[in-house]
Structure 1
Amino acid sequence: MNNLETISIDDLDFSKYILFDVRSPKEFEEFHLPNALNLSIFTNDERAEIGTIYKQVSKEAAIERGLEVVGPKLPVLFQKIKTEKEKNPDKKVVIYCARGGLRSKSIAQTMNMIGLQCLQLEGGIRSYRKQIESFFDRYIKTQRQIIVLEGHTGTMKTEILERLQNEGYPVINLEKMAGHKGSIFGRIGEQPSSQKKFESNLFERLKELENSPSLIIESESKRIGRVIVPDFLLEGKYSGTRIHIEVPFHLRVHYICNVYKPLLHKDEIVEAVNKLSKRIPVAVMEDLKDSLQCQNYEKVVSLLLENYYDPKYEYAEQKYESDCVKLHGDSLENIYLKVKKQINRLIV
């Protein structure tokens, strides 16, 4: 029972192992290892109950209750692991929990006893968090050229970044990692990331670009939805090389309507507009509500750009002192080609 084989996070290649996370669904949803499958041994409520017993009664009582809960689930857990193993016979199974404690150890040992070879991840997912923190500490010590894509709301920056990344450019798509479009409407149609999940996404991408002397980012604020952007990227926003995109107003309006699909998210859009009521003149707010009632979303977007987003952007832009290259385009394809040409001139 004491000969359980373990593996360290530094030796773990996520693509070469079958990873099972035995924490609760809530813990898994907040943050998990890349490619991991959730194999919760406790529901969210069961975990809370056992945690309360641990704190208020004793560790022994909590373990006893845990055994009562997990025992009947073992056949299902076994079958799930067996099924994945049969799909991937050449891969070893790794079980992990929060800190490499009793949850993962008990499941891995039990599966080994009944014929399914499993490894336990040393230190659990906490070891991965430490790996991320250590990597960020090292990463910020290396100077890199940062190219910043900026422009008013609706200038298709995210679309341009996605195209550049697909062509192999060293793009850090912060909004995609955050699961948020970076405005009060930003979570509409998205699955917002937790801070830990965001940092995991950023870590995995930066590892891919570790040898790249340049990074391309969008100009973002300190907070994107509920996540905080690391300082070393924010500093690059002010000190990096800036490319400012300008496109016709009507094209911005059309693009925003296509991205947010307002007919599919009517209630969320109304809710978001109402949150701006104290920041927009009363007359404009009345016009917005009338336009929402009529489902005239192009007018809604126009009013928001003219009376909130554009003035806000222009105020923020006054903080920049570095020079920037301004590029004008009359279509996505046109402005994308111009941006790519400029980046090819700049990139080291």
Structure 2
Amino acid sequence: MELKQIEIDELVDILDQTLLIDVRSPGEFAEFHIPGAINVPLFSNEERAEVGTLYKQKGPEQAKDRGVEIVSLKLASIYQKIKYYAKSYERTVIYCWRGGMRSKSVANFMTVMGVHCLQLKGGIRSFRKLVTDELEMFSKDKKPFVVIEGFTGSRKTDILHQLSEKGYPVIDLEGLAGHRGSIFGSVGLTPQSQKAFECELWLRLKALKGSAYYIIEGESKRIGRVVLPPFINEGKESGKRFFIDYPFEKRIEAIYEEYNPKKHSEELNDAYQHLKKYIKPPLSVALDELMEKQDYYQFIALLLEHYYDPRYNHQQKKYAGDSTVISIASVEEGVEKIEKQLNARYSVSISS
């Protein structure tokens, strides 16, 4: 029976009706996968490494022999899993890295067993190329940017979330990256890979295709391990900027609440150890003492006043033009004031 393949351009239009089975290792899947896919790996991370080493050291035949030995013990489980999931979908598509032996063998096996499957031509590499090509197209669509900025803890992300819920064209860059942007930014979160971030960004841009503008938070060129595309940075630098002026004490409370230091004390301490090399005494000595006493409230206050706020002021000097200052005492007030500014400036918004 001839195995049928499907092109990525055809698949992307029918993702909602398609069962996607990713047969790569869990590590490969975690780094980047097609949205909605289910991981049914042929090899564990360790088994994949073992087969790869055999291929390099002994040659393809020994690697294939070991691969067959490993997979043969899993065939019954693989069959039952895919058969179970396939009941709820119109079609089933199997993919691996580049549309090679892993996906072909599983798709053939399942089809012979009566569960007709398609193989994604070119594997996930074809999807990755589609995402990068589409992002390149979006980069040429020169829409204006609205940038929400302010000191650390100014509730900018909360304001963005509420604006998004109201239908404004928000791109939550930190949310897509799984990171808050600072050395402490990964605490309690799962940072995304560059590929996964770009995939999520592509999906969001597709959803906002009819919008007249984009709203983002003021970020550096990197958010954790993710590098922002040049057109996002360009839009940020040339966009209309709103500076959120939020009381210092409330900023401390917001950060304390966001990071939950009692729950994430070990992560916070690890992050602080990385930050210490940029901080000189006597500030570092004072911070060490507060961290040791687990006086997180004062730790945050000191770090804001003597490290993060001065750094932010220095960074802002590179931007041309002024920000519109919006003084607020609550997230709701910030949303209301920015809405008035947006509605006066733009007559079109889009539901997210």
The answer to whether TM tops 0.5 is yes
Q: CA RMSD in A?
A: 1.3
Distance 1:292 1:17, change over 3 A: same
Cα separation, 2, equivalents of 1:82 and 1:137:
38
Cα separation, 1, equivalents of 2:130 and 2:82:
27
Q: Secondary structure at the match of 2:141?
A: coil
Corresponding residue number in structure 2 for 1:304: 303
Cα separation, 2, equivalents of 1:61 and 1:291:
58
Corresponding residue number in structure 1 for 2:85: 84
Q: Is the 1:172–1:205 contact (alpha carbons within 8 Å) kept by the matching residues of 2? A: yes
Does residue 234 of the first structure (1) align with residue 202 of the second (2)? no
Corresponding residue number in structure 2 for 1:280: 279
Q: What is the deviation of 1:330?
A: 1.1
Cα separation, 1, equivalents of 2:122 and 2:139:
25
Q: What is the deviation of 1:163?
A: 1.3
Greater alpha carbon shift after TM alignment, 290-299 vs 175-184 = 290-299
Corresponding residue number in structure 1 for 2:55: 54
Q: Is the 1:280–1:307 contact (alpha carbons within 8 Å) kept by the matching residues of 2? A: no
Superposed counterparts of 1:112-131, under 5 Å: 112-131=111-130
Does residue 34 of the first structure (1) align with residue 20 of the second (2)? no
Task: For 1:60, give the aligned amino acid.
Answer: E
Q: Secondary structure at the match of 2:249?
A: helix
Q: What is the deviation of 1:7?
A: 1.2
Task: For 2:125, give the aligned amino acid.
Answer: R
- TM-score normalised by length of structure 2: 0.95
Superposed counterparts of 1:106-185, under 5 Å: 106-185=105-184
Q: What is the deviation of 1:93?
A: 1.0
Does residue 258 of the first structure (1) align with residue 261 of the second (2)? no
CA offset digits 1:282-308 (Å, max 9, x no partner): 122222222223322111110000011
Q: Secondary structure at the match of 1:264?
A: coil
Q: Secondary structure at the match of 2:283?
A: helix
Cα separation, 2, equivalents of 1:272 and 1:244:
27
Task: For 1:27, give the aligned amino acid.
Answer: E
Q: Is the 2:159–2:332 contact (alpha carbons within 8 Å) kept by the matching residues of 1? A: no
CA offset digits 1:130-186 (Å, max 9, x no partner): 101111221111210111111111111111111111222111111111110110100
Does residue 22 of the first structure (1) align with residue 23 of the second (2)? yes
- TM-score normalised by length of structure 1: 0.96
Cα separation, 1, equivalents of 2:141 and 2:180:
29
Q: What is the deviation of 1:58?
A: 2.6
Cα separation, 2, equivalents of 1:341 and 1:313:
26
Cα separation, 2, equivalents of 1:278 and 1:238:
29
Q: Is the 2:153–2:252 contact (alpha carbons within 8 Å) kept by the matching residues of 1? A: yes
Cα separation, 2, equivalents of 1:167 and 1:261:
28
Q: Is the 1:111–1:117 contact (alpha carbons within 8 Å) kept by the matching residues of 2? A: yes
CA offset digits 1:195-223 (Å, max 9, x no partner): 11111111111111122221111111111
Q: Secondary structure at the match of 2:86?
A: helix
Greater alpha carbon shift after TM alignment, 334-343 vs 120-129 = 334-343
Q: What is the deviation of 1:126?
A: 0.3
Q: Secondary structure at the match of 1:15?
A: helix
Cα separation, 2, equivalents of 1:94 and 1:119:
5
Cα separation, 1, equivalents of 2:58 and 2:275:
49
Q: Secondary structure at the match of 2:215?
A: strand
Does residue 68 of the first structure (1) align with residue 69 of the second (2)? yes
Task: For 2:247, give the aligned amino acid.
Answer: P
Corresponding residue number in structure 1 for 2:320: 321
Task: For 2:67, give the aligned amino acid.
Answer: G
Q: Is the 1:279–1:308 contact (alpha carbons within 8 Å) kept by the matching residues of 2? A: no
Greater alpha carbon shift after TM alignment, 283-292 vs 206-215 = 283-292
Report how many residues are paired.
345
Corresponding residue number in structure 2 for 1:333: 332
Distance 1:280 1:61, change over 3 A: closer
Task: For 2:77, give the aligned amino acid.
Answer: V
Cα separation, 2, equivalents of 1:307 and 1:9:
51
Distance 1:276 1:72, change over 3 A: closer
Q: What is the deviation of 1:103?
A: 0.4
Task: For 1:163, give the aligned amino acid.
Answer: Q
Structure 2 unpaired stretches of 5+: none
Q: Is the 1:94–1:121 contact (alpha carbons within 8 Å) kept by the matching residues of 2? A: yes
Corresponding residue number in structure 2 for 1:104: 103
Q: Secondary structure at the match of 1:244?
A: strand
Q: What is the deviation of 1:118?
A: 1.0
Cα separation, 1, equivalents of 2:221 and 2:257:
26
Cα separation, 1, equivalents of 2:121 and 2:108:
14
Structure 1 unpaired stretches of 5+: none
